[in-house]
Amino acid sequence: MPRFAANLSMLFTEVPLLDRFERAARAGFSNVELQSPYEVPAELLRDRLQANRLQMVLHNLPAGSDEAGKRGMACHPDRVQEFRAGVATALRYASVLGVPQLNCLAGKAPAGVSPSLLHSTFVDNLRYAAEALAQAGLKLLIEPINNHDVPGFWLCRTDQAVAILDEIGAANAFVQFDVYHAQRSHGELAQTLQRYLPRIGHIQVADNPGRHEPGSGEINYDFIFAHLDRIGYRGYIGCEYTPAGTTEAGLGWLEQARRSLRATA
């Protein structure tokens, strides 16, 4: 049965980051994920995880803090050294936090760079990261992000991501499948999940429109969760959405999903 993880970059944001761990535990989560942990010493994050009996299951590689890089930089040919230094930083955090997988954001395509150079830069960087993570026993994830919300984001489709994984040929590299981004990019959610299930290492959820909690929009999440269970997905489902109100007020969908999954177990 899939397990849910609270994304602490988007949930419980009415309190400071270090206080979100307790809020997540009180809301019934055993697992959390975080987009970028790097503004807080890893040891402080580890202490909050341990105090609240939480497991962190995912964080991103450093994505860059400036306008050019905050969406990621793995496809940027002028930032290769920065990207590779970020891999080392991410591995240090993952070691302290006990995180089993790291997500790599491709970034927005820089103006004036040829498509072939963007592609080769991304592939070379992923090969470097996959090898470094494999030595630490970790999985590498790559995440397609839709071009409606983030115009120019270089990696935007599931089939594109799988083709790149085929080119890399790393046994520890997988797709991070964000249901919201996939719906906006290409739809066909159930078929895409089933077709590429062996290549998917992590799933995230939000509804459309608005990127709010499941059940607030057009995506039939009752079907999606049951479908994931039927096809044998046993990984984590990250709750990466913007609550329409307070996080706790919008968590009714989660208990319903858990009841449905228990009923089909």
How does pLDDT run across 107-157, given as a tens digit for each residue? 999 999 999 999 999 999 999 999 999 999 999 999 999 999 999 999 999
How does residue 259 score in pLDDT terms, banded at 50, 70 and 90? confident
Looking at per-residue confidence, does 256 or 107 come out higher? 107
Output the average pLDDT for the chain.
Answer: 94
The domain limits of the chain are 3-264
pLDDT of residue 70: 64
Q: What is the CATH number of domain 3-264?
A: 3.20.20.150
Please write the tens of the pLDDT for every residue from 188-210.
999 999 999 999 999 999 999 99
How does residue 66 score in pLDDT terms, banded at 50, 70 and 90? low
Please write the tens of the pLDDT for every residue from 218-238.
999 999 999 999 999 999 999
pLDDT of residue 258: 83
Closest CA to 173 of 135, 129, 136, 121: 129
pLDDT of residue 67: 52
Catalogue the active-site residues. 143, 240
Distance of alpha carbon 229 from alpha carbon 244, whole angstroms: 27
Find the Cα–Cα–Cα–Cα dihedral 200, 205, 206, 207, rounded to 10°.
80
How does residue 68 score in pLDDT terms, banded at 50, 70 and 90? very low
Number of residues written out for the chain:
265
Find the Cα–Cα–Cα–Cα dihedral 123, 128, 111, 116, rounded to 10°.
-30
Please write the tens of the pLDDT for every residue from 32-61.
999 999 999 999 999 999 999 999 999 999
How does residue 262 score in pLDDT terms, banded at 50, 70 and 90? low
Percent of the chain residues topping a pLDDT of 70: 96
pLDDT of residue 69: 44
Residue pair 234/202 in contact (Cβ under 8 Å)? The answer is no
Distance of alpha carbon 117 from alpha carbon 125, whole angstroms: 12
Distance of alpha carbon 2 from alpha carbon 47, whole angstroms: 26
